[in-house]
A and B are shown apart, each in its own frame.
Chain A
Amino acid sequence: MKELVVISGKGGTGKTSITASFAVLSKNSVVADCDVDAADLFLVLNPKMITSGKFISGKKASIISEKCLSCGKCFYLCKFDAVSYDDLTGKYVICDTACEGCGVCAAFCPAGAISFTERECGEWFISKTSHGTMVHARLKIGAENSGKLVSLVRKIAREEGVKEKAEKIIVDGPPGIGCPVIASVTGSDAVFAVTEPSLSGKHDLERVSELVGHFNLPLFACVNKWDVNPEITLEIEKFCVKKGIFFCGKIPYDKNVTKAQIEGKSVVEYDESPAAREISKIWGNLCGKIL
Chain B
Amino acid sequence: MIVAVTCAGKSIDSPLDNRFGRAESFILFDLENGSFTFLDNEQNLNAAQGAGIQSAQKIAKSGATALITGHTGPKAFKVLSSAGISVYHSSAKTVKNAIEEFKAGKLEKAPNPDVESHWA
Q: Which residues of A contact B (CB under 8 A)?
A: 56-59, 101, 118, 144-145, 147-148, 151, 154-155, 182-183, 186-187, 215
> Are A187 and B48 within 8 A (Cβ)?
no
Q: State the 9 A-B residue pairs at the shortest beta-carbon distance, nearest first.
A: A58-B48, A186-B118, A186-B116, A57-B48, A56-B46, A187-B119, A183-B118, A145-B48, A155-B120
The winner among B46, B48, B120 for most chain A CB atoms within 10 A is B48
> Are A151 and B120 within 8 A (Cβ)?
yes
Candidates B46, B47, B117; contact of A186 at CB < 8 Å: B117
List, in ascending order, chain A residues with CB within 8 A of B117's CB: 182, 186
Does B49 make an interface contact (CB < 8 A)? Answer: yes
How far, in Å, is A189 (CB) from chain B's closest CB?
13
List, in ascending order, chain A residues with CB within 8 A of B49's CB: 145, 147-148
Does B115 make an interface contact (CB < 8 A)? Answer: yes
List, in ascending order, chain A residues with CB within 8 A of B47's CB: 58
How far, in Å, is A171 (CB) from chain B's closest CB?
14
Shortest Cβ distance from B43 into A: residue? A118
Known: A186-B119, A187-B119. 9 other contacts (CB 8 A): A56-B46, A57-B46, A58-B48, A145-B48, A147-B118, A155-B120, A182-B117, A186-B116, A186-B118
Q: What separation, in Å, do the CA atoms of A118 and B45 have in the docked complex? A: 12
How far, in Å, is A42 (CB) from chain B's closest CB?
24
> Are B116 and A101 within 8 A (Cβ)?
no
